[in-house]
Structure 1
Amino acid sequence: MTLTVAGLFAGIGGLELGMTAGGHRTALLVENNPVAAHVLRRRFPDTPIESDVRDVDALPRGTDLLVAGFPCQDLSSVGRKAGITGARSSLVGEALRLARRSDVPWLVLENVPFLMSLNGGAALRLVTESLTALGYRWAYRVVDTNAFGLPQRRNRWYLVASRDGDPRDVLLADDAERPEAIATYPDVACGFYWTEGTRSFGWAVDAVPPIKCGSSVGVASPPAIRLPSGEYVTPDIRDAERLQGFPSDWTAPADEVAKGGERWRMVGNSVSVPVAAWIGRRLDEPGRYDAADDEPWAGPRWPRKAAWADTDGVVYGADVGPWPQWADRVPLEHFLQHPGKPLSGRAATGFISRTHKGSLRFPPGFVDELTDYAAAR
């Protein structure tokens, strides 16, 4: 069945493009960033675009699905409040307001996994209790973009809620194991963040770490990639778009109205298109989730992998991993279609200095090799 979609906080349209690939139709987009809205007008020329969700009185008639990659920052100020009363003062509350007013049967929400621990879990409790108060069943899951054949390790939190169907059959029915890597450094391309400081999630084998949005003033922050040849490069923005599942040059219209770093910010903030497409396909053809072994959640921390609740609001943990499938892929080295920019000696030196202060451990020989590379630059 084809669903009519309304997209809030649309960015450059990752959720909506994925839903289109899943067989659905977008009837409304809402995005307040003028540069992102400029991209949306070029890529969704027949879809109305509103700039401020607070000015939208109701969704288009017949909207079946509301999708929203909502910002979680403002939830930090209302996280101690209870249920929908607190949610009304946040931007996700605007999504709930429109879902209620327009009687939308399905919702898909996306955020960073940090939402589960924000305010000690109170922010997520606020969202889920608000959904329950509106009569929705819901399920959430942390999903890795890497599962869908893209060489980017990117965990994001997704929630599906419904008044009509079982969201578990959409989000939890598929589960796969990630195969063991056949090769590693130095035989395959490896990605790392030379701007990552001393935090410990900046290394990926045959993939890049999560693409970041860069600085608030539009300074790009691409990952570095060590190629099997021994070269060190940062990827072209067109390959960054492809690593998110967009066609190459999807954000090119932004160059007409903004500096180049803005494209990196938008790509880094976006939803990975193949993940949204998978959810879209499952909305059309649900699977069948077996909850027989699931147990009620007792807290205090939210289940890290997945969870669900019926209309009674009782929360159950679900033992599914971040890989709903494991799609065939080409190695990162061959995935890249555009020449990368050589990593500067200054960037390499700064990264090396931070490796001595942090806890991240690298394969034997990598730091020495990068040290030699920096010296030669």
Structure 2
Amino acid sequence: MVGLFAGIGGLELGLASHGWNSELLCEIDPGAQAVLRARFADTPLHTDVTRLRSLPQRTELVAAGFPCQDLSQAGRTAGITGSRSSLVDEVFRLVKRKNGPRWLIIENVPFMLQLGRGAAMRHITAALDDLGYAWAYRVVDARSFGLPQRRQRVVMVASRTEDPRMVLFGQDAGMPTEGDPEAHPCGFYWTEGVRGLGWAVNAVPTLKGGSTLGIASPPAVRLPSGEIVTPGLTDVERLQGFDPDWTAPATLASGVRPGHRWRLVGNAVSVRMAAWVGHRLSDQIEYSPDHQSPLAPGDAWPTAAWGAHRKAFRVHESQWPVHDPYEDLGDFLEGARLLSARATAGFLRRARSGNLRFVPGFLDDVESHLDRMGGFPQVAA
């Protein structure tokens, strides 16, 4: 396989657990490059996809978690023609040859299904149709694989010779009942408070490479005791399925600040999600058309669909293909620290100025935490 836009190797690591060997990696970020050189030491690394002339001849699979900055709600929402997300066209350029790779795996944020009334998906599916690929995609939640992070991602599998429906569909466990917020740690974005909260019971909201405040930051977690904490860096690495300190080599790169590791983790692909795809590539399930209905031009893109030869079909399956044993969020907070008084006070101000609804007792806990931390910071005259 070849990993394009490899980041810190989440797709590649997950697929490797099911026998896929990376023959080439491509990544432009210096910090991520340092991680790849340390963690995939025997794999050649190319630094600019636009200057990569071709793929190794024996390539059977190309994995591409292409940049999401132009497609995400936290990003610039410039769309598929934005300077970063338009790089997906480099993937199509590289797989264009007649005897191209058997499999293509693309991963990105679910907001791409809505942005510009689905323009990104129309662009991608049209390109795949032109190249002779049948395609299937499904929005998948990382919690399905036992990780306490509510992280939905579009996983797309395409092939010229195989049926991608047999990889993504046929397993559907359905979303489980949400737990009691009083009995479990609950994650939220402390950088929000006016337009959103990201509230998640026994999970953190999606780890992000940035926030509406323009900084890469961890979420906050309200513990059952009422304390408000933020996960440590090694905690969030584990929440993405990586070993602790997986991104430590990034700090060895010239000009890369230690805080950049947060951004690398937030932009990464969940290792367990990638491992599930790797498992399904070798353990396919016969597809039943009973779970589909036609998708007409102009229809909104659903959370699961497939297509070929300019025809598309909605697939009626959930974001939870499996229910792997779920791990409690509290077990991922080994490096957690108390949310600072400044951060807590800022969140409270935003929460009080907006119209969001909060679960009973939540803001009381935040106010109590602020009191324990010394109250509202004093502003110098």
User: SS of 1:156's equivalent?
Assistant: strand
Does residue 50 of the first structure (1) align with residue 77 of the second (2)? no
Aligned to 1:198: 194
User: SS of 2:22's equivalent?
Assistant: strand
Q: TM-score, normalised by structure 1?
A: 0.91
AA in 1 matched with 2:88: V
Alpha-carbon offset, residue 236 of structure 1: 0.8
User: SS of 1:16's equivalent?
Assistant: helix
Contact 1:218–1:265, Cα closer than 8 Å, also in 2: no
In structure 1, distance between residues paired with 2:265 and 2:236: 7
Of the three residues 173, 177, 190, the one matched with 1:176 is: 173
Shifted more, 183-192 versus 275-284: the winner is 183-192
Alpha-carbon offset, residue 91 of structure 1: 0.9
Does residue 291 of the first structure (1) align with residue 274 of the second (2)? no
User: SS of 2:95's equivalent?
Assistant: helix
Contact 1:117–1:301, Cα closer than 8 Å, also in 2: no
1:106-117 pair list within 5 angstroms: 106-117=103-114
1:12-51 pair list within 5 angstroms: 12-51=8-47
AA in 1 matched with 2:302: R
Alpha-carbon offset, residue 90 of structure 1: 2.9
Does residue 262 of the first structure (1) align with residue 260 of the second (2)? yes
Shifted more, 160-169 versus 342-351: the winner is 342-351
Contact 2:110–2:153, Cα closer than 8 Å, also in 1: yes
AA in 2 matched with 1:307: A
Aligned to 1:274: 272
User: SS of 1:157's equivalent?
Assistant: strand
Of the three residues 302, 310, 316, the one matched with 1:313 is: 310
Q: TM-score, normalised by structure 2?
A: 0.90
Alpha-carbon offset, residue 226 of structure 1: 1.3
Aligned to 1:83: none
Does residue 127 of the first structure (1) align with residue 124 of the second (2)? yes
1:282-361 pair list within 5 angstroms: 282-310=280-308, 312-336=309-333, 338-361=334-357
Of the three residues 245, 253, 261, the one matched with 1:249 is: 245
Aligned to 1:229: 225
Aligned to 1:139: 136
In structure 1, distance between residues paired with 2:34 and 2:325: 34
Superposed CA deviations along residues 169-204 of structure 1, whole A, max 9, x for unmatched, are 1011211123223x4222211111100242335111
AA in 1 matched with 2:324: A
AA in 1 matched with 2:93: R
In structure 2, distance between residues paired with 1:340 and 1:72: 28
Superposed CA deviations along residues 231-287 of structure 1, whole A, max 9, x for unmatched, are 211111001000000111100111223222111000000100000110011111211
Superposition RMSD in Å: 2.3
Alpha-carbon offset, residue 371 of structure 1: 1.1
Aligned-residue sequence identity (percent) comes to 50
AA in 1 matched with 2:36: L
Does residue 157 of the first structure (1) align with residue 154 of the second (2)? yes
